[in-house]
């Protein structure tokens, strides 16, 4: 249910600057009991050491919306080096944005120094390439100009993320009318949308992700330039695109995000060959395969079951892989195994230009695809070897997915049913099932019989 985040709207607002509204403890729902103990430790140590420190962004936003935050980010006027001196469990990361990670086992609290404006930075800072750098398209390549909390708020992307909670006096500081936008269920960029998207094109993806995650609408002004600026995503490093893929497709909102990405013409910058295939009539099952795989992933996540991006990659790229295999079969004389690996390497080489898929996930994708061919070979001991494969379950789930969609392919449907029965049968029944499988026709050309040597040749050889 949508509810107003002001709990005491009649109370008078205090101002700490001409740009911020301060909500006292009786005016908001943010409480320390909703904040991780480790985040509170970091806030308290920074404050007790003489620095200003605030819980900022999504942590504040989600608590106001009644959502349990997954991350607790902190903003402070302490520099990364000063933060490091306070925490032995601190490591400094990042070149583009210099950040401090305070590590508590598996829990990591991210601490950022207040950002400043590039046009107000000192001449010395502007001249230092390590402090600030922009690309020819306006994208920020380095952004280590430090400033005040007011400047930091203006540098944040969306109004609903420009909210700061102080553990010192329990106030919430609203710099961009973010409280009102939360109440209005609106995603709105701070500043000129085109300029902000050029600074960081990933903000286009974040706008969609926040809208679907929080069940909000993107404001008209914020969404207007997205389609025209979509090509800027081609400049984003593949490793960062992989991170964004995980956030969009492994958060329980994969299907709706997929539809939104296609609507705003952004999906092609994740999967160029797949978007091209979706726009053609050659792959009648492709859209349904992707949608079903994404829907199944959402169901698993929302039921607290494990998921892997490898399965989604395998589903999304399956039909482009099959097309590549058919092309190679028509133009080469390679063996089926060589054809598969050649097609696999071509597809993955092209895909890696957009998303840097880690090798550990590539290996799982390859296993899922190879198992599709192994499922067809069930004679002798092959069925038992396939059943013992470490990725059998993922491959089998993918086989079921294919059979469900390609229900007109009776052989594929029968094959999926055979494996369903086989894995749940006892050993004797399994033996009977294997014997009932027709032996596959050999794909190898028959060996030519060697002609016997002529007697004359043998005689001459003997004489010699």
Q: Which domains are present in the chain?
A: 21-187 (3.30.460.10), 286-435 (1.10.3090.10)
* CA 202 – CA 244 distance, rounded (Å): 8
Is 0.85 surpassed by the pTM of this model?
no
pLDDT at 141: 43
Residues of the chain scoring pLDDT < 50: 1-3, 7-18, 121-129, 132-135, 138-141, 457-464
Relative to beta strand 21-23, strand 172-174 is antiparallel
Beta partners for residue 395, in sequence order: none
Angle among Cα 416, 418, 424 to the nearest 5 degrees reads 105
Helix (H), strand (E) counts: the chain? 22, 12
| Residue corresponding to tokens 């005016």 | 27
pLDDT at 337: 92
Measuring CA to CA, which residue among 2, 41, 27 is closest to residue 217? 2
65 in Cβ contact with 183 (< 8 Å): no
Distance of CA 177 to the CA centre of its chain: 30
Burial of 293 (0-12, 13-18, 19+ CB in 10 A): buried
| Residue corresponding to tokens 């050999």 | 442
* Exposure string for 30-51, b = 16+ CB within 10 A, e = fewer: beeebbbebbeebbeebbeeeb
pLDDT at 14: 40
Output DSSP code: residue 70. Answer: S
250 in Cβ contact with 297 (< 8 Å): yes
pLDDT at 311: 97
Give the active site residues. Answer: 71, 73, 157
Q: Give the number of C-alpha atoms closer than 13 A to the C-alpha of residue 7, restricted to the C-beta side.
A: 13
106 in Cβ contact with 99 (< 8 Å): no
| Residue corresponding to tokens 């978007």 | 275
| Other beta carbons within 10 Å of 104 | 15
Beta partners for residue 55, in sequence order: 74, 165
Q: Summarize pLDDT for 294-351 with one digit per residue, the tens.
A: 999 999 999 999 999 999 999 999 999 999 999 999 998 899 999 999 999 999 999 9
Q: Summarize pLDDT for 142-157 with one digit per residue, the tens.
A: 556 888 999 999 989 9
Helix ranges restricted to H, 184-250: 193-199, 202-213, 220-223, 226-229, 238-249
pLDDT at 15: 41
CA pseudo-torsion sign 196, 4, 22, 165? negative
Residue 92 dihedral angles phi and psi, to the nearest 5°: -95, 135
pLDDT at 282: 85
């Amino acid at each position: 249910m949508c509810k107003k985040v002001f709990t005491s709207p009649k109370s008078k607002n205090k101002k700490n600057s001409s740009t911020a509204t301060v909500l006292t403890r009786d005016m908001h729902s943010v409480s320390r009991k909703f904040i991780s103990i480790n985040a509170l430790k970091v806030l308290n140590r920074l404050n007790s050491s003489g620095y200003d420190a605030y819980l900022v962004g999504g942590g504040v936003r989600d608590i106001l919306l009644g959502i349990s935050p997954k991350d607790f980010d902190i903003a402070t006027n302490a520099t990364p080096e000063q933060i490091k001196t306070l925490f032995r469990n601190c490591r400094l990361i990042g070149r583009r944005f210099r950040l401090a990670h305070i590590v508590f086992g598996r829990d990591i609290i991210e601490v950022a120094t207040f950002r400043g404006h590039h046009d107000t930075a000192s001449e010395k800072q502007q001249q230092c390439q390590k402090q600030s750098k922009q690309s020819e398209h306006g994208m920020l390549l380095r952004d280590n100009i430090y400033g005040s909390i007011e400047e930091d708020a203006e540098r944040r992307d969306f109004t609903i993320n420009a909210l700061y909670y102080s553990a010192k006096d329990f106030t919430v500081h609203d710099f961009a009318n973010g409280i009102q936008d939360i109440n209005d269920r609106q995603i709105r960029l701070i500043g000129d949308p085109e300029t902000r998207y050029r600074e960081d094109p990933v903000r286009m993806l974040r706008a969609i992700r926040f809208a679907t995650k929080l069940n909000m609408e993107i404001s008209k002004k914020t969404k207007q330039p997205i389609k025209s600026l979509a090509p800027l995503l081609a400049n984003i490093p593949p490793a960062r695109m992989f991170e964004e893929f995980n956030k969009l497709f492994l958060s329980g909102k994969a299907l709706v995000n997929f539809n939104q990405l296609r609507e705003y013409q952004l999906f092609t910058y994740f999967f160029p060959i797949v978007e091209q295939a979706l726009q053609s009539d050659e792959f009648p099952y492709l859209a349904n395969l992707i949608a079903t795989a994404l829907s199944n992933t959402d169901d698993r996540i929302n039921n607290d079951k494990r998921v892997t991006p490898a399965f989604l990659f395998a589903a999304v790229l399956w039909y482009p892989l099959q097309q590549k295999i058919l092309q190679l079969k028509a133009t080469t004389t390679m063996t089926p195994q060589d054809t598969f690996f050649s097609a696999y390497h071509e597809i993955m080489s092209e895909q890696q230009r957009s998303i840097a898929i880690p090798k550990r996930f590539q290996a799982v994708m390859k296993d899922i695809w190879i198992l599709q061919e192994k499922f067809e070979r069930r004679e002798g001991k092959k069925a038992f070897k396939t059943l013992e494969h470490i990725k059998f379950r993922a491959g089998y789930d993918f086989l079921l997915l294919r059979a469900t969609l390609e229900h007109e392919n009776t052989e594929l449907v029968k094959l999926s049913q055979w494996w369903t029965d086989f894995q749940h049968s006892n050993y004797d029944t399994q033996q009977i099932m294997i014997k009932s499988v027709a032996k596959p026709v050999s794909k190898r050309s028959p060996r030519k019989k060697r002609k016997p040597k002529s007697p004359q040749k043998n005689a001459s050889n003997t004489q010699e």
